[in-house]
Amino acid sequence: MHKLAQQLNEAIERDTPHVYNMLSDLGRKMYFPKEGILSQSAEAKAKATKFNATIGIALENGQPMHLSVIADHLSAFSPKDIFDYAPPAGKPELRSAWRKKLLEENPSLRDKSFGTPIVTNALTHGLSIVADLFVNPGDAVIIPDKNWENYELNFGTRRGAEMVYYPLYNEQQKFNAAGLREAILAQRPKGKAIVLLNFPNNPTGYTPGVEEGKQIVEAIRAGAEAGIDIVAVTDDAYFFLFFEDSMKESLFGSLCNLHPRVLAVKVDGATKEEFVWGFRVGFITYASESEATLQALEQKTMGLIRATISSGAHPSQTFVLHALKSPDFPAQKMEKFHIMKGRANRVKQLLDSGRYRDAWDYYPFNSGYFMCLKLKKVNAETLREHLLNKYGIGTIALGETDLRVAFSCIEEEHLQELFDTIYQGAREVEQESRE
Ligand SMILES: Cc1ncc(COP(=O)(O)O)c(C=O)c1O
């Protein structure tokens, strides 16, 4: 093992032995090279006043060399904020701006100890860093039965985790904290678990209420008290799109500094929140009361970034930073929030009108981009194909009964036509199956 990795491990183990236990084999080996090209180049940036011939970019007239066919369309920004490499952990100013945003939007974080967000190539990459640092083959990754399908590929297929499922809803159609607790406590023999929490949930659009949120935290605390080391990850992809009376903060705030056996990790980003899906700007943030552990986890994360993508795209970091600093940003964001909320409300109004009662129920939703129908009489995949082929309507079939509808993509005035057509389609499929 590299000497630097050993030093990081010693620092983590000294202050936070349970966090050390959570690290995967790869996580233990990981470090950020101190003596390589990046550090020599950083040193030269500060001291090489005559010629700086260190890093693999090209300079001209004291700026990164560039082509006008590209630069002319990006002239609002300085070439150094577009063409040069961003640092592996991301633009420092963007990292601080995101931290400030986290504190503003999550008052429960204000008395907690957590690190500076590290820029990732959007949320998927942040989740893959969690998987690389903390998952060994056979480790349990606990997710609800309704989940984003990519978790399985990332944690299960890629890292060999054992995926453990619990039903998302209980009989009262609330979050099934008892199911989560049971799934966690079942990991006693392993002594370790990774718990993934995603609210607003993909695919259902559900965010628990404040009381349910407390039960989630208690389930994790119970696991820790039973001797299980828990990496508690919040995937806050759809943060801020809370349309009703649910929690309006990330659970990360309540999980920070909860118990020595709990490591809270927040994965979030601009992707869905700021409507910049293709920009690929996300963040990973760790919580620990130990500054040394925060530093070591940051170094290990930077090592993974250096080894995989080297650094994230610079232009999109510049664009997101510019937005965060803009005085118009909050108002523009609220405007889009109200459009999305209007769509969610309209969907609920249509569904609650009773006009589709014989064809489906729907899973409780109050946030995010999606909602999910629970079909009563027809198979979800059969209906999906029928809607696509006969009506040119695209939906997502999940399992036997569930059909996910992204109301985020449909203008409010078209929602009735959309759901009326899905209903019509369901009746046709039902009739065909009888014939
Ligand atoms: C729950 C959830 N997490 C993460 C992501 C991935 O986000 P990104 O595009 O930023 O990688 C998605 C995207 O669909 C998602 O639904």
* pLDDT tens per residue, range 36-57: 787 788 888 889 888 888 888 9
Confidence of residue 200 (pLDDT cuts 50, 70, 90): very high
pLDDT-based confidence at residue 350 (cuts at 50, 70, 90): very high
| CB 283 within 8 Å of CB 265 | no
Question: Would you say residue 92 lies in a domain?
Answer: yes
Residue nearest to atom 14 of ligand 1 (CA): 148
Is 155 in the same domain as 303?
yes
On whether both 184 and 300 belong to a single domain, the answer is: yes
Same domain, 185 and 319: yes
Contact 81, 66 (CB under 8 A): no
Tell me if 40 is assigned to some domain.
no
Low-confidence winner among 25-39, 110-124, 201-215, 280-294 (lowest mean pLDDT): 25-39
How far apart are the C-alpha atoms of 424 and 435, rounded to whole Å?
A: 17
- The answer as to whether 55 is a domain residue is no
Percent of the chain that is helix, strand, coil (3-state, to 5): 50, 15, 35
318-325 mean pLDDT: 98
> Going by CA atoms, what residue is nearest to atom 16 of ligand 1?
202
Query: According to the model, what pLDDT value does residue 45 have?
Result: 83
- Residue 35, pLDDT > 80, answer no
CA atoms within 13 A on the CB side of 316: 19
Q: Residues 421, 423, 425, CA angle at the centre, nearest 5°?
A: 70
Same domain, 219 and 271: yes
The answer to whether residue 347 sits within a structural domain is yes
List CB contacts of 328: < 8 A, sequence separation 6 or more: none
Substitution site in 268, 271, 284, 398 for ligand 1 pocket (most atoms within 8 Å of beta carbon): 271
Amino acid at 430: E
Looking up residue 153, the CATH number of its domain turns out to be: 3.40.640.10
How far is the centre of ligand 1, averaged over its atoms, from the C-alpha of 123 (Å)? 6
Per-residue pLDDT, averaged over 202-211, amounts to 97
Same domain, 214 and 307: yes
Question: Residue 353: which CATH number?
Answer: 3.90.1150.10
DSSP β-bridge partners for residue 372: 404
pLDDT in tens, 360-381: 999 999 999 999 999 999 999 9
Q: pLDDT tens digits, residue range 263-279?
A: 999 999 999 999 999 99
Residue-wise pLDDT for 160-173, tens only, equals 999 999 999 999 99
Q: In what order do the strands lie in the sheet with 370-375?
A: 360-362, 370-375, 402-406, 396-398
Q: Please provide the average confidence, as pLDDT, over all residues in the chain.
A: 96
Structural domains of the chain, count = 2
Please answer whether residues 263 and 286 qualify as being in contact, where contact means their C-beta atoms are separated by less than 8 angstroms: yes
Q: How far is CA 292 from the centre of its chain?
A: 25
Please name every residue paired with 242 in a beta bridge, in sequence order, or none if there are none: 367
Average the pLDDT over 179-199 and give the result: 98
Q: What is the mean predicted confidence (pLDDT) over 188-195? A: 98
Q: Does the pLDDT of residue 108 top 90, yes or no?
A: yes
178 CA from centroid of ligand 1 (Å) = 26
Predicted local confidence at residue 434, as pLDDT: 83
Q: Is residue 295 part of a domain?
A: yes
User: What are the backbone angles phi and psi of residue 61, rounded to the nearest 5°?
Assistant: 55, 35
Q: What is the pTM of this model?
A: 0.96
Average pLDDT for residues 328-352, to the nearest whole number? 97
377/308 same-domain check:
no
How many CB atoms lie under 10 A from the CB of residue 275? 13
Average pLDDT over residues 295-319: 97
Q: Does 234 lie in the same domain as 120? A: yes
Quote the ligand 1 centre to 411 CA distance (angstroms): 22
**Which of 119, 120, 129, 148 should be mutated for ligand 1, with most atoms under 8 A from CB?**
148
Mean pLDDT of 404-418: 97
DSSP run (H or E) holding 393: none
Mean pLDDT, range 383-403, rounded to an integer: 97
Residue with tokens 């040069």: 84
Q: How confident is the model at residue 259 (pLDDT cuts 50, 70, 90)?
A: very high
Q: Quick check: helix, strand or coil at residue 194?
A: strand
List, chain by chain if needed, residues with CB within 6 Å of any ligand 1 atom: 122-124, 148, 198, 202, 235, 237, 269, 271, 282
Domain enclosing residue 412, as ranges: 330-434
Given 325, 345, 366, which residue is the final one in a domain? 325
- Packed helices 415-434 and 380-391: angle between N→C axes, nearest 10 degrees: 120
Could you say which of 273, 298, 325 is where a domain stops?
325
User: Are residues 189 and 310 located together in one domain of the fold?
Assistant: yes
